[in-house]
Chains A and B, each alone.
Chain A
């Protein structure tokens, strides 16, 4: 089983609909992230969470919200989806303990299409 699991893997929705992307991890990491990937733009950080009570906006948080339900679960919501939110979304985790390099471990991505 994957260490970082995202659901759904693919989703097509309509403008104005509320969408939730879910992420769970079994790595025991304290830090979790949501990224968006668009062609030619690399990965851009939407939100990140250093623990259950510490949630921070990334560079492109407008139009998104998150919830850290537990150390292992971090969900991303689009309250009212719009077509330019069509993208590939990644959840990632990292370990903040001393002597860790802080590399990210990724889920398999959730491809969202907003019509």
Chain B
């Protein structure tokens, strides 16, 4: 069965600096999607970035980028120039291409220090 592991329950970073959140997953599939979702104190889950497994190029969305290492089954999120509004829980999720169910990590709480 697929699993998703986020080994950092909490991370903190100084405003304007860069932080990387880790995610590893276990699967025997070759075709799948990976996602990072953000949950701010307002509690709504918001998609930050997605990565298709067949794409070698790492996805980027403004200050957010991923380091996708398919062989190592690693999918880390890098946040550059951290802002106070980035403070949130961040969840990593995996989806098989053949199945629309997502498998979720337990989340990482990101604290931004002013």
B101–A48 touching, CB < 8 Å: yes
**Bound form: Cα–Cα A104–B48 in Å:** 12
The interface size bin for chain A is 20 to 34
Decide yes or no: A103 and B105 within 8 Å by CB, A88-B43, A109-B43 being known contacts: no
**Bound form: Cα–Cα A89–B44 in Å:** 11
A75 contacts B by Cβ under 8 Å: no
B43–A108 touching, CB < 8 Å: yes
B111 contacts A by Cβ under 8 Å: no
Number of A-B contacts (CB under 8 A): 49
A12 contacts B by Cβ under 8 Å: no
A109–B44 touching, CB < 8 Å: yes
A103–B107 touching, CB < 8 Å: no
Decide yes or no: A106 and B100 within 8 Å by CB, A40-B106, A42-B107 being known contacts: no
Decide yes or no: A90 and B95 within 8 Å by CB, A96-B100, A101-B52, A103-B35 being known contacts: no
B47: which of A40, A103, A107 is its contact (CB, 8 Å)? A103
**Bound form: Cα–Cα A48–B99 in Å:** 12
Q: Which residues does chain A contribute within 8 Å of B107, judged by CB atoms?
A: 40, 42
B19 contacts A by Cβ under 8 Å: no
User: What are 15 residue pairs bridging A and B, where the CB atoms are less than 8 Å apart in the complex?
Assistant: A40-B9, A42-B91, A42-B107, A43-B104, A44-B104, A48-B101, A50-B100, A92-B45, A101-B33, A101-B50, A102-B95, A103-B33, A106-B46, A108-B44, A109-B43
Nearest 10 pairs between A and B by C-beta?
A106-B45, A42-B104, A42-B106, A43-B104, A102-B100, A108-B44, A109-B43, A103-B47, A101-B33, A102-B95
